[in-house]
Structure 1
Amino acid sequence: MTEELTLTAKDGQELFVYRWLPPEGSELRATVQIAHGMAEHGVRYERLARALNAEGYVVYANDHRGHGKSAGGDANLGWGGEDSWRACADDLGTIGAHIAEQHPDLPRVLFGHSMGSFMTLTYLFEHSAKVDVAVLSGTSNGGDLLQKAGRVVAKLERLRQGPRGKSKLLAFLSFGSFNNAFKPARTDFDWLSKDEAEVDEYVADPWCGFDVTNQWWVDFLGGLIELGDDAKLRKIRADLPIYVFAGDQDPVGAQGKNVRALVDRLRATGHARVKQTLYPGGRHEMINERERDQVTRELIDWLGSTLETC
């Protein structure tokens, strides 16, 4: 059963959190906190959570501000308030503190997918001592010229439409090319997975695929630009084990190019315990790909072997 709880952020924002527990009597191995991607929500990770439960992992996943139940209504989807990026990273700490309080003797794994992987890195800049293992899924590199130019456009669109406006131009500049490699595309979201049933489920979900606000774009792109600063990466403790996995056809990671660039930067800034896996033919959501059972098994095996050394 999926359990639901609410936590209160530092600024009073109500955060909806899902929890999945291993079968009663299981030997508990660690906690896994999941940070989901843009324009989706935490309960989509139930299948992964159940697989982790079977191996003794307690799993939590929240809905970010402006997403799922934390949005407080469909009219607020994509709106996280001012400085939403920093607030979302702080929320990871609020949820992590609750998890640590509930399970003080268990190691802590922080798993971020796509936008959630960038939030995870932002959180780790200041708090890597509180995390035992980090996992980055469907990630990419930060700080490039396109992101900087995009933030300028986002600020102009915010002036034109207001912070709560939803710019079709920003959506096109960000996602408009993602399906190009998969033409003729069946849907606007073929880039997510080769599994048509998974894509159809995403398309049918009212809490998936929505446009975020201009303010969200300004904050998000600011966070990505910050990720391009090697001095920030050096603030993450050097001995933190980090697992990076993605599909080599994922447009978010530039078909693996920007995933490799991020891994190279992590290693160059002193992080020796970084493992990278690029899945041939895989698209953006590897945990929802046709080969998801293999992906999940390899994640669980890596977690098991890594936690033994922590």
Structure 2
Amino acid sequence: MITKKLITLKDNTRIEYKLYRCNDAKGVIQMLHGMAEHMERYEPVCKYFNDLGYDVLIHNHRGHGENIDEKLRGHFPSVDTLVKDAYEIFETFAFKGEHVLFGHSMGSIVARKYVIQYPGLFDKLILSGTSFYNKKFEAASMILKPLLKIHPENKKLDFVNMITLRDFNKSFKPLRTESDWLSFNEDNVDAFINDPYTGFNMSIGALNSINESLKYVSRKQNVKRMNKSLKVLLVAGNDDPFSNFGKGVIKTGKLFKSCGITHVYLQLYEHARHEVLFERNQREVLNNMRKWLSYE
């Protein structure tokens, strides 16, 4: 059974969510989508996990989705706000069995903060297309912080978003579209471009918070607050520029292990870019996740 509704949070923000229920669920998977996209893109993935016997909960982050005020699109106060939203939505329902958290891209950064702030809530963590704070993100900070001194946080600037796209695309030639960095799968890229609720500009405040949050979750003293028994799966494409072509994912895995998290498993896929879940080998990626989820 699939339920799609709006939920009113404590601060009166209304957020759209979908809940996939199944009989005698063995657990729940909470899904956190990425930046400038929405939950409906994950329909096949949610159904796949639901068919495996999991309840699946997914929602649109603030500033994302179809049913929002266009003035609010692309902005949220902070990543901490997104963490609180995810927790409040999750705690609204009762779930049996193991608790699994899944986050892609920006959603992976939200997820990493989530398990730091609520270390006892989840048993397993899947991070798709995550990264590690490096000089590239330091350079972004040097652009964003001065802009925040002269513009409001909700200001959206075309050139800031274009700089990001150029940086992510610079390794791919010839370019067919500005979204080539997302996927080798041209059908997926075209679907993203033609979707009216994806690829919009983000506010400088939101971008800065994403950047600062990646810095936060890349620090050992913060990661040490995570539950040491948490089982972690890192999934990424070897040609993903956001994760520094796999290097950021490998560093993240090493960071977790150095902080005492013993179960850290890495799946890097050749000929796959940022949206590894939507490449042409999607079935292989999902089946490998299934095998990991069944591992005890």
User: Same fold, TM exceeding 0.5?
Assistant: yes
Q: State yes or no: 1:169 paired with 2:159.
A: yes
- Name 2:29's counterpart in structure 1: 32
Q: Does structure 2 retain, via aligned residues, the 8 Å contact 1:151–1:217?
A: no
TM-score (norm: length of structure 2): 0.95
Q: Does structure 2 retain, via aligned residues, the 8 Å contact 1:43–1:61?
A: no
- Name 1:87's counterpart in structure 2: 81
Match of 2:210 among 214, 220, 241: 220
Match of 1:196 among 180, 183, 186: 186
Q: Does structure 2 retain, via aligned residues, the 8 Å contact 1:157–1:167?
A: no
Q: State yes or no: 1:120 paired with 2:111.
A: yes
For 1:173, the aligned partner's letter is I
Structure 1, unpaired ranges of 5+: none
Instruction: Encode CA deviations 1:2-57: one digit per residue, 9 max, x unaligned.
Output: 521222333222121112234xxx44221111000000011111000111121111
- Number of paired residues? 296
**Counterparts of 2:88 and 2:142 in 1: how far apart (Å)?**
31
- Name 1:108's counterpart in structure 2: 99
Structure 2, unpaired ranges of 5+: none
Instruction: Encode CA deviations 1:133-152: one digit per residue, 9 max, x unaligned.
Output: 1100011113x343234223
Relative to total residues, which structure has the larger helix share, 1 or 2?
A: 1
**Counterparts of 1:37 and 1:21 in 2: how far apart (Å)?**
23
**Counterparts of 1:190 and 1:147 in 2: how far apart (Å)?**
21
For 1:191, the aligned partner's letter is W
* Dislocated runs of 4+, deviation >6 Å: none
Q: State yes or no: 1:75 paired with 2:71.
A: yes
- Name 2:144's counterpart in structure 1: 154
In the TM superposition, 1:1-310 aligns within 5 A as 2-22=2-22, 26-69=23-66, 72-80=68-76, 82=77, 84-99=78-93, 101=94, 103=95, 105-142=96-133, 144-305=134-295, 309=296
**Counterparts of 1:39 and 1:201 in 2: how far apart (Å)?**
14
Q: Does structure 2 retain, via aligned residues, the 8 Å contact 1:34–1:62?
A: yes
- Give the drift of 1:276: 0.4
1:156 match: secondary structure? helix
**Counterparts of 2:215 and 2:117 in 1: how far apart (Å)?**
17
Identical aligned pairs, as a percentage?
29
Q: Does structure 1 retain, via aligned residues, the 8 Å contact 2:27–2:97?
A: yes
